[in-house]
Amino acid sequence: MTEMTGYAVTAQFYDPMTEASHAHVRAQITDALNGLDARSHPIVDIGAGTGLTTRAIAAVLPETEIVAVEPDPFMRPALMTRIWSDPDLRRRVSILPMPVLDAPLPPVIAGAVASASLVHFSPADRARLWTLLEERLLPAGRIVVEIQCPLSREIPETLLATERIGGVHYEGWASAVPVDEQRLHWHLTYVARCGDVEIDRRSTDHVCWVISSRDVLTEARASGLDGAVTGDLVVLGKAASTT
């Protein structure tokens, strides 16, 4: 799994820059999980970040235990704070501080969610991920995968989000250029202004893997999974037996 060192800068801005802009994807994730029987076995949140998706999973599956896997040390303080500050989450969510491929996952899981995290897996690591999940997934389980970067293409600088906290106005900007056919180099800038005065500006760079929904289905099928595309997601389950 590719280490994303850009979170050292991004972590403090992550929630205000993504809570609203990413809300439509979290709504799709909760729709995809709705009705899943996960009372006896946990859901794995792959790359839990600050816990926004973890909280959404907990809301739609109120009896489910969640394994929140987050390898980045700059994101985990916010994740721990979110879990600790909510007595219900504190009871149900376990935080594992390592990459999911190295994590001591339960032997049986009801499902998994990879939101804004698959871009950090190389093709070889994705193959390992699909196998790891298929081996643990209940027959009626679901794996929900967000598709973020389906193509390696140049993206001009774009305003991602803007939020006001107290008297401070925050902006998040992003641009990307291809490294090759499989990777994008992202440049992110965060700006804070108090009135007309710029009080903070921080930038960071990272490289992410691109993968389309079609590629996810092709790779997953090679590991015994199958599924369908729905909106920004691919929803996978155990492939039907041919015997």
Q: Residue written as tokens 């093709």?
A: 123
Instruction: In whole angstroms, give the CA distance from residue 199 to residue 213.
Output: 40
Residue ranges of the chain assigned to CATH 2.20.130.10: 155-209
- pLDDT of residue 31 exceeding 80, the answer is yes
Reported in sequence order, the residue ranges of the chain that DSSP labels E, i.e. its strands, are: 43-46, 66-69, 93-96, 109-114, 137-146, 155-165, 168-180, 183-194, 197-209, 225-230, 233-238
**Over the stretch 52-82, which tens digit does the pLDDT of each residue have?**
999 999 999 999 999 999 999 999 999 999 9
For the stretch 99-155, pLDDT in tens is 999 999 999 999 999 999 999 999 999 999 999 999 999 999 999 999 999 999 999
Check residue 243 and give its pLDDT.
46
For 155-209, the fitting CATH number among 2.20.130.10, 2.40.50.140, 3.10.20.30, 3.40.50.1100 is: 2.20.130.10
Burial of 182 (0-12, 13-18, 19+ CB in 10 A): middle
pTM, two decimal places: 0.95
- Location of each CATH 3.40.50.150 domain in the chain: 7-149+212-238
Beta carbons within 8 Å of 35's beta carbon, 6+ residues apart: none
- pLDDT tens per residue across span 169-184: 999 999 999 999 999 9
Question: Exposed, middle or buried, 79 (CB in 10 Å: 0-12/13-18/19+)?
Answer: buried
3-class SS string, 184-220:
EEEEEEEEEEECCEEEEEEEEEEEEECCCHHHHHHHH
Q: Give CA–CA dist 118/213, Å, rounded.
A: 11
Q: Which fold has domain 7-149+212-238?
A: Rossmann fold (3.40.50)
Helix-helix angle 52-60:76-84, to 10 degrees = 40
Burial (CB count <10 Å: 0-12, 13-18, 19+), residue 91: exposed
CA distance 194 to 104: 45
